[in-house]
Amino acid sequence: MTKTNFVRILDAAAISADFGAVQGATYAGGSISLKDLSVGNVTGWEWSITGPETHASTERNPTVKLNTVGRYKVTLKVLNPFNSSVKVKDGYLLVVPAAELAAFFPFNGGITDVGPNAIATSTVGGGITFGEADRLGFTGNTSSFNGASGLIAANNAAMNFGAGNYTVACWVKTAVASRMMIWQESGKNGTNDNQTWIRIGDNATDRVTRFDVEDGTGSAFVNLGSATGKLSDGGWHHVVCVREGLVTSVYIDGTKRGSTTATGLKVVSNDQDFKIGFQEGATSNSNFFSGNIDDVLVYRKALTEAEILALFNL
């Protein structure tokens, strides 16, 4: 057997800077751990984290607490007595607002909830991968759903909205126009279950995107047609669903696209799981998502238009 280029011989003085993060996203007041991935005989590390705040470290793998919402550039300079090398990643770290945050699924290489409740997660159907690039071009920082798989966030009091206000925001990218669920809270008992969800592709005309708030008394739908709600164009879109009292609204790419007012307040959520990328039913799962879903945020409050636009611009 012959293996070409099987052994790599480095100049003893040569170094090449590189780094990653154990988790490159958090909420205001949370911490992010950086990981040195440099090649060569490195003897010194100079980290610089700049953005709404500035931090520096000479540790090999530092952990940084970030208190201010925004995007952060990370620069790593590695050294030895003979050489130095620099790696820069602009906008690499993400910090989201913390007030009333229930869950945060950044999908940076995994399905972990990095929000304050650290909700347990699992998958159905397998097939969720993380090899594609996110909307900023960082490879491995988004989830890919294959049309037969989904994520389950275990039932948690933080996600049982009751009669309160809430907001669910996420980024999606798909070229598929079929009927697909982006996310669903509760709903396994079917129609008139205490549930809420957003689905695309219910039809090709007036239900291209559909946001539902539902209980035993009926449903309140926000239905968007192709002119205002089309998401299946192969590009990244920011989708935000808000319930504020009797009013439910959908925002796409920072702009309100539709709303409705219910005749009575819907009591949302049973003691059931939160689903991403599929719809749970009493006996089977359906409407699996095909494409990318990223940065799913769940808040126990109704975000304002200004707050939604700020999320869109992060």
CA distance between the termini of the chain = 51
- Given the DSSP bridges, would you call strands 236-244 and 101-105 parallel, antiparallel or unpaired? unpaired
Q: What is the pLDDT of residue 264?
A: 94
pLDDT over threshold 90, residue 11: no
- Using CA atoms, how far apart are residues 33 and 75, in angstroms rounded to an integer? 14
- Using CA atoms, how far apart are residues 37 and 127, in angstroms rounded to an integer? 27
How far from 212 is each of 57, 143, 191, 197, 243, CA to CA, in Å?
47, 24, 11, 5, 10
CA geometry: angle at 251 spanning 246 and 254, to 5°?
A: 135
Q: What is the pLDDT of residue 101?
A: 98
Q: What are phi and psi of 310, to 5 degrees?
A: -65, -40
Decide if 85 contacts 45 (C-beta within 8 A).
Answer: no
Give CATH 2.60.40.10 domain extents, the chain. 15-96
Which residues on adjacent β-strands are paired with residue 55? 49
Q: What is the pLDDT of residue 291?
A: 98
Decide if 183 contacts 198 (C-beta within 8 A).
Answer: yes
Q: How confident is the model at residue 195 (pLDDT cuts 50, 70, 90)?
A: very high
Query: Mean pLDDT, to the nearest integer, of 147-167?
Result: 97
pLDDT over threshold 80, residue 131: yes
Query: Mean pLDDT, to the nearest integer, of 140-144?
Result: 96
- Using CA atoms, how far apart are residues 25 and 93, in angstroms rounded to an integer? 6
Cβ-based burial of 275 (10 A; exposed 0-12, middle 13-18, buried ≥19): buried
- Using CA atoms, how far apart are residues 287 and 268, in angstroms rounded to an integer? 21
Write the single-letter amino acid at 295: D
Write the single-letter amino acid at 118: A
| Averaged confidence pLDDT in the chain | 96
- Using CA atoms, how far apart are residues 289 and 116, in angstroms rounded to an integer? 27
Write the single-letter amino acid at 302: A
* Class of domain 15-96 (CATH, top level): mainly beta
Query: Mean pLDDT, to the nearest integer, of 150-161?
Result: 97
DSSP one-letter code for 157? G
CA 243 from chain center: how many Å?
A: 19
Q: How confident is the model at residue 126 (pLDDT cuts 50, 70, 90)?
A: confident
Q: How many CB atoms lie within 10 A of CB 4?
A: 4
73-120, pLDDT tens digit by residue?
Answer: 999 999 999 999 999 999 999 999 999 999 999 999 999 999 999 999
Single out the residue of 35, 20, 17, 15 nearest to residue 87, CA to CA: 17
Please report, rounded to a whole number, the percentage of residues in the chain having pLDDT higher than 90: 96
Name the strand (E) or helix (H) holding 88: strand 84-96
Q: What is the pLDDT of residue 12?
A: 80
Give CATH 2.60.120.200 domain extents, the chain. 101-312
Q: What is the pLDDT of residue 9?
A: 80
pLDDT over threshold 80, residue 6: yes
Considering the segment(s) 101-312 as one domain, its CATH architecture is Sandwich (2.60)
Query: Mean pLDDT, to the nearest integer, of 241-252?
Result: 98
